[in-house]
């Protein structure tokens, strides 16, 4: 236990980024989740954060998917 002079009631700092995030539910393929979980182990960052960073980069660069619909 900390000495009494170290025990003070302090309020944590408010996370200024919390209100800038939007919670969403998304279904991802196991391959995608496994890929980002592997990156998470290498980098030490949570895989959800890595997915967010990747999607943010795509959005900022206005990347388009190269898709072809087969009839």
**Within a domain: residue 53?**
yes
Cβ burial of 1 (10 Å; 0-12, 13-18, 19+) is: exposed
**DSSP sequence for 8-70:** ---PPPP-TTGGG---------HHHHHHHHHHHHHH-S-HHHHHHHHHHHHHHTT--------
Per-residue confidence (pLDDT) for residue 6, from 0 to 100: 59
Nearest to 26, CA basis, from 5, 48, 59: 48
10-61 pLDDT, tens per residue? Answer: 667 776 666 688 999 999 999 999 999 999 999 999 999 999 999 999 999 9
Domain count, the chain: 1
Per-residue confidence (pLDDT) for residue 24, from 0 to 100: 93
Residue numbers of the domain that contains 39 = 28-60
Specify the pTM. Answer: 0.66
**Within a domain: residue 9?**
no
**Within a domain: residue 37?**
yes
Q: How far apart are CA 15 and CA 39, in angstroms?
A: 26
> pLDDT tier at 5 (50, 70, 90 boundaries)?
low
């Amino acid at each position: 236990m900390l000495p009494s002079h170290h025990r003070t009631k302090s309020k944590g700092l408010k996370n200024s980024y919390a209100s800038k995030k939007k919670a969403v539910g998304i279904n991802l393929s196991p391959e995608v989740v496994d890929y980002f979980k592997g990156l998470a182990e290498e980098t030490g960052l949570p895989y959800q954060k890595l997915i967010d960073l990747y999607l943010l980069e795509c959005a900022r660069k206005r990347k388009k998917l190269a898709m072809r619909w087969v009839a």
